[in-house]
Amino acid sequence: MSGSGTAATGGVEELLGRVVPGRYDAYEALLHALADGRLWMLLWQGRPGSFDAQYGNMEVDGHGYAPCATSERELAASGWDRAHEVVTGRDIARALYAERWGLWLNPHAPGGGVGVPWPDLRRIAAGLDRMPAGPLRLSEPTIALPQFYALLAQNAHRTPAVRSLRRAWVQPAAGTPYLVIGLDLYDSGQGAVDAVRAIMSQSVAAVPDGLPVSTVAMSDSYDPVALWLRAHARPFYDREAHATAPVVPHTGYGYPPRTP
C-alpha cells in the first residue's frame, strides 16, 4: 500500500470543510472523493513496506481509528515527526475495515478533523453504490406482504441450502427505503447461491410494483443489516424449527378422539 507523490487531494480537503452533523450529502461526497484520493497515513513505528510497520491509532467513543493527513501540507501542519505512508483511500479502507478500525482525517485540524467509521470504509472497499448509506434506521417491516412471505417460505422449504429467513425494513441516510431478506444458508457454494437467487426471483413477483427488495447473507459478520437481523429479528421461516414442530393429532372440531 506504499506510494509516493506530492499532489494534495484538494477535492477531499474541500469536501472535508463541508461535513457537519446532519449533512449526509456532503459526507457521501467526501466518501466518494476518498475512494480515489490519496492519504498520508501516520506510522507509529517502522517504515513503509517494512515488516514492523504499524499505523498510529486513536480511540474515540470506544472505537479505534487510524489517523492520517489528507495532503503533504496537512502532514506538515500536524507536526508528525515519524515515518508516513501514502496510500489510496480504497486500499486503506480494505486494510482497516477488516479489523473493524476506522479512519480519522486530519485530527490535528481545528475542530478535530473528521472520522470515518469502519462500516463506511467497508462501503468504500466494496463500492459505495453497492451498499446503503448510513446511518441506517432498521425496524420490523410494517407493510403487509402475506403472499410474498408465504411464497418465499414455500420456495425456501424446497431448497435444501436455506436454513432460515428473516426480514427488516431499512431506511438509509440517503436513498429509498427498502425491504431486506436475511438469508441464512447451510451452504455458501455457487450452487446454493444460484438456487437462492432463483427462489428470490420466483417469489419477488408477489411484491407490489415499486417496492424495492434486497437480500443480505446472515453469515456476513461485517454487514450492519445482518448484525441487526441476528440480534433483533426472529425468522419467519426456520427449517429446523419446522422439522421439530410437534405433530398435533386431528381430533375433529375440538372434541377428544373416540376411544375404541
Q: What is the DSSP letter of 180?
A: E
Please report the pLDDT score of residue 258 as a whole number: 46
Query: Per the omega criterion (within 30 degrees of 0), is the bond before 135 cis?
Result: yes
Q: Name the least confident of 48-52, 112-116, 156-160, 167-171.
A: 48-52
pLDDT greater than 70 at residue 142: yes
Q: At what angle do helices 89-97 and 118-126 cross, to 10 degrees?
A: 120
Integer Cα distance of 175 and 109 in angstroms: 31
Q: Name the least confident of 59-68, 96-105, 155-164, 246-255.
A: 246-255
Q: Name the least confident of 78-87, 126-135, 211-220.
A: 126-135
Integer Cα distance of 247 and 241 in angstroms: 12
pLDDT greater than 90 at residue 7: no
Please report the pLDDT score of residue 244 as a whole number: 58
Q: What is the 3-state secondary structure (H, E, C) of 200-237?
A: HHHHHHHCCCCCCEEEEECCCCCCHHHHHHHHHCCCCE
Domains of the chain (ranges, CATH numbers): 10-130 (3.40.1350.90), 137-244 (3.30.460)
pLDDT band at 246 (very low <50, low <70, confident <90, very high): low
Please report the pLDDT score of residue 133 as a whole number: 83
Q: What is the DSSP letter of 142?
A: -
Give the pairing type, strands 102-105 and 63-69.
Answer: parallel
Q: Read off the pLDDT of residues 19-61 as tens digits, 9 standing for 90 and up.
A: 888 788 889 899 999 998 999 999 998 888 888 889 999 999 9
Mean pLDDT (the chain) is 86
Integer Cα distance of 126 and 122 in angstroms: 6
Integer Cα distance of 76 and 58 in angstroms: 19
Q: Write out the DSSP string of 95-125.
A: HHHTTT-EEEE-TTSTT--EEE-HHHHHHHH
Q: Name the least confident of 62-66, 70-74, 170-174.
A: 170-174
Q: What is the mean pLDDT of residues 101-117?
A: 94
48 vs 199 pLDDT, higher one: 199
